[in-house]
Structure 1
Amino acid sequence: MQTRLYSGGRVVEQGFGFGELAGHLSDHPEAVAWLDLLEPSAADLAVVAAEFGLHPLAVEDALAEHERPKLDRYPDHLFVNVYAVAFDHVGDVSPKAHKVEISAFVTERALITVHKDEGDVDKLVKRWDSDADLAASGGVNFLLYGLFDVVVDSQYAAARQVDEAMDPIEDRMLGEGGAPRAVRLHGFGLRRALAMLRRAVAPMQDVVAEVNRADSDLVDDQLRPYYRDVQDHAERALESIEHSLTRITELLDADLNEQSNILNDTTRKLAAWAAIIAVPTALTGYFGQNLPYPGYEQPWGFVLSTALIVVTGAALYYYLKKRGWL
């Protein structure tokens, strides 16, 4: 558990227990609090829900894993579920996307975050501490903005890393003769990672827009442009991921077509050589098995049959070569 108490944009208390939270909020009427819980149990959240009047359905969603990114409105608070992401791509190791699911309860005087996996909470704290002037003008809405900003930044950074990882894959896939199997498997891994990223990123701009809508009383006029900026970054991250997803899909399809072309070319060459070999086979079988050929049992007959085999085979080779089959 991590706790902080903000008053006038400054941290006045931190690291205190949950039992002291109500007393600190009472002693500082203008203050807002942040409470972060890592993998809490149902009993832990039940205590928090009783203190802040959290809706049972929101508590249930906070305990469940793999909830979709969303924002739900309840009479006394909001419930938000988002994903911070990271992209792991080193050398020829199969690319992987990592997600950290974060649920948040937004009450009048507290932001309660629930980390369902280990995450880099220090980034969130640094984001809040980096802009004291903006923090002084906002309360819980500033804390929520900082959370959105850190999450969207992670998504945008992952989208850029994916785009950069596409270049070497593209160069190796577009080579003549199709890509090696290891490169194709790398491409499939990249497409799988992109699909996972897209599920986390796609709803994010709608979540931010829902908080920042004109009839919402949560965001004031000073913070509204900052929320729009976060929404714009979320949109750009989604566009980048969708572009990369389309790009890798087209590369895999192009590689499949190239392999089909190579297979067709190989099949055509095998058929052509089979036709060439069939000519002498047919001639020797006809003359050797069915009836005596001209010059039978004569030396010049052997020379004639051999010349006939060579000439017909060469003629067929020339014909197939001219048509591009060989």
Structure 2
Amino acid sequence: MKRNLLAIAIPALLVAAGANASIEVWNKDGNKVDFYGRVKAANNITDRGQKDEGDDTSARLGMSGQTQITDSLVGYGRWEYEAKAGKNSDNEVRYAFAGLNFGDLGSFDYGRNDGVLKAITAYTDVLPQFGGDAANNEWNVLSSRTKAVATYRNNNFFGLTDDVSFALQYADNGDNSSTVDSHRGGSREAYGANAQWRIFDTGLTAGAGYAQTTVSETRHNTWAAGLKYENYDLYLGANYFQSKLKVDNNYDYKLRGFELVAQYGIDLEVGRLTPSLAYVQHKLKDYGHDRVGFNSPLAKYVSLGATYDLNKNFSTIIEYKFNLLDNDDIGAWKNTERPRVGSKHPSKPGTKDVLGVGLIYQF
């Protein structure tokens, strides 16, 4: 396949990212539409009073499409919706964006999409049930799904090499972090960039990114770096990130974290078993205007689990999270449910281990 055709095809494949299989419902005259979906029936077993305890069942349905406009121009779009069926039955439009791909010149899209740092934090967001702490963290800028983002991507460095890719992003009040709002409120603009390098034929990929937002006297930025190794059987992932938030020169917050993941796939007579081991640690430092603050873990745990893919459409998952937080850690405070006064079960520190189990059907 010619290089310029690859440059067109790759972003179209990215449109369907997150779907291990899909149903092609239309493919004619340069127009293609796929549907994909997932039903996840899961439960997190831990002490009452801890967040994310209990039913975690959800269903997703998505659509991706593309249309050949000219020999070197492709239009594409993606929409995905998730309905939760557990105790917190909140629904969400996960993705809704459309764009144009210009071959070797890259692609441009706008709508609800992943923040530009998600490409880096995703290196370790691969655990069977838990994980994603860096990706879905209210202290990080443009690290998760967010609304109103305009994104330029180039996946082959203008046709020179398929090993180097980069992205530029602007968010018009679309930054996913909520920490700024808790101090200042109001609208936010944000911008960021990432770059990734597949290191020759070694199986290694290195990536880094930066994002920033400013509201009045509040300045908030995040940078992240990661490394992953993958072949058919072995996957290793690591990332490190740092976020800084300064409010009116009175409060100075700094969040530092790193995540490590190792997984190994084993082919069985029926299906494939992938054991998983991970370590996650995030620490928040706060200096108040009087320079008296705290330095406390926000997340700290070891994860041991496995995914058993019976085939490409059906999987079972199990994961045990060894919670390493102490009672006085800020992460334990944030991980504790605070029920209404007079409720049957009182608040408990969020320091308990969690067992997650589930079944997943996807197409």
Q: Which TM-score tier does this pair reach, normalised by the shorter chain?
A: under 0.3
TM-score w.r.t. structure 2 length?
Answer: 0.24
Q: Return the structure number with greater helix share.
A: 1
More strand, by proportion: 2
TM-score normalised by L of structure 1:
0.26
**Rg (Cα) greater in structure:** 1
